[in-house]
Structure 1
Amino acid sequence: MPGATAVGITFDEGVVFASEKRIAYGNFLVSKSTKKTFPITPKVGATCAGLVADMQLLSLQISALAKIRKMDLKRDVPPNTIAKMMSNMMYERRYFPLLTQVIVGGMTDKPVIYTLDPLGSVLPDEYAAVGTGAEMALGVLDPQFKENMNEKEATDLAVKAVRSATMRDSFSGDGIDVLVVNKDGITEFTEDVK
């Protein structure tokens, strides 16, 4: 599987996702500008490590299913439902799996994130990291994460965690995409390589 580093962090009024932009297969650098953060609904986002094509397919299908579900419910689809929809789709394909690790989350009464493996296991958490650089990113997240951080603190920590992984993981690098979900919706921006 190709390498990558992606993190998700909850903060007092939302969640932040960050991912680097590189796709590498073995010694071959395929792309330096791949987006691995995905808005799923106006209140739910996701990020991934692994095969980006599989995550692009998954995010498009779940986004469409969420729109249909929203019309049925006549209200926003919560992040736990989106995570369960992703889990079901990944489990249904367990014999020909979508080779991607996913962090998905958003806002309900409180910010939540879930980590999903290629077979659809759903693990709730306050922060998470996936991909080949996950150990380096968690080395930053574990000691520095604290509950009820503000948006700037969480965003800075997410960028710092991904940046630390790009320093040591040759499969990660070339800038950082950030997606923030809060009560106002989704904001996206890119941090350049420094």
Structure 2
Amino acid sequence: MNFLDSPLSKPAPYVVAPIEHRFDPYEDNGGTSVAIAGEDFCVVASDTRQSNGYMINSRYAPKAYKMSSTAVLSCNGFHADGVTLKKVLEQRMKMYKYSHDKDMSVTALAQMLSNTLYQRRFFPYYAFCLLGGVDADGKGAVYCYDSVGSFERENYRTSGSASALIQPFLDNQVGRKNQQNASTAPLTLEAVLRITKDAFTSATERDIHTGDNLQIFVITRDGVEEQNFPLKKD
């Protein structure tokens, strides 16, 4: 047999490896938010670090937004979706004001946010929201959401990359769980601010996606006051 006729001289059949065609428009940009409702106030706090894995994109990319004189929204997850969602809500709030000649209450905004997220349930906003404010009775209110609009009113909640670290701390310090002879007196604003700062200071030691600066919004019937607190930067 001549070499040209042998199997060794013939090229192996060309095999095309399978190629995965995938479109993934989402990214988790990290960061953490906390909302705590008091008797006549609400505190919403969020850090300003925007990251992608081990890379910090920005040290000042706010995730909490003042929506009205009685409501503040925070969005964790994909930063671009959070910004877009905030713009959509602002447009609808303006339409409401022009139609009814009054600002939207935090209760109405909570329902509208749920509807807005649910309308996009087949291609959802990758934004996990906390809405904090003061209701018509002057009481603090916190609403927490998943990405498709399911929500409930709570007294306190955290969301974001360090939520697993902060939520047990809030359960103990705000919810008074696992305490002996725990006080039943409502927390003062000063105590809530101290707890909020302690929660973030502690979380930055263990979560690389949370840090740089802390924005704190204090919501009362008189309006919204913003405070800033430095956090760990490495």
Is this a same-fold pair by TM over 0.5?
A: yes
- Does residue 106 of the first structure (1) align with residue 144 of the second (2)? no
What per-residue deviation string (whole Å, max 9, x for no partner) do you get for residues 34-73 of structure 1?
1111111111111121112211221222122123223333
Partner of 1:16: 43
Q: Output the CA distance in 1 between the equivalents of 2:108 and 2:171.
A: 27
- Does residue 148 of the first structure (1) align with residue 178 of the second (2)? no
What's the offset of the Cα at 1:12? Answer: 1.9
Q: Which has the higher contact order (CA 8 A, sep 6+)?
A: 1
What's the offset of the Cα at 1:113? Answer: 0.8
Partner of 2:10: none
Q: Compared with structure 1, are the counterparts of its residues 80 and 192 closer, same or farther at alpha carbon in structure 2 (3 Å cutoff)?
A: same
Q: Output the CA distance in 1 between the equivalents of 2:79 and 2:223.
A: 24
**Corresponding residue pairs, total:** 194
Percent identity, please: 28
**Greater than 2 Å deviation, 4+ residue runs:** 70-76
CA RMSD for the aligned pairs?
Answer: 1.6
Question: Computing the radius of gyration over CA atoms, which structure comes out larger, 1 or 2?
Answer: 2
What's the offset of the Cα at 1:105? Answer: 2.1
2:42/2:220 contact within 8 Å kept: yes
Partner of 2:80: 53
Where do residues 1-194 of structure 1 align in structure 2 (5 Å cutoff)?
A: 1-108=28-135, 109=137, 110-145=139-174, 148-193=186-231
What per-residue deviation string (whole Å, max 9, x for no partner) do you get for residues 128-152 of structure 1?
0001100111122111115632222
What's the offset of the Cα at 1:173? Answer: 0.9
Q: Output the CA distance in 2 between the equivalents of 1:98 and 1:17.
A: 21
More strand by share: 1
1:114/1:124 contact within 8 Å kept: yes
Q: Output the CA distance in 2 between the equivalents of 1:100 and 1:175.
A: 20
- AA aligned to 1:80 is T
Give secondary structure in 2 for the equivalent of 1:88.
helix
Output the TM-score relative to the length of structure 2.
0.78
Give secondary structure in 1 for the equivalent of 2:205.
helix
Structure 1 unaligned regions, length at least 5? none
2:204/2:231 contact within 8 Å kept: no
1:47/1:103 contact within 8 Å kept: yes
Give secondary structure in 2 for the equivalent of 1:98.
coil
Structure 2 unaligned regions, length at least 5? 1-27, 176-184
Give secondary structure in 2 for the equivalent of 1:112.
strand
More helix by share: 1
Output the TM-score relative to the length of structure 1.
0.93
What per-residue deviation string (whole Å, max 9, x for no partner) do you get for residues 130-182 of structure 1?
01100111122111115632222112212222222211111111121111111
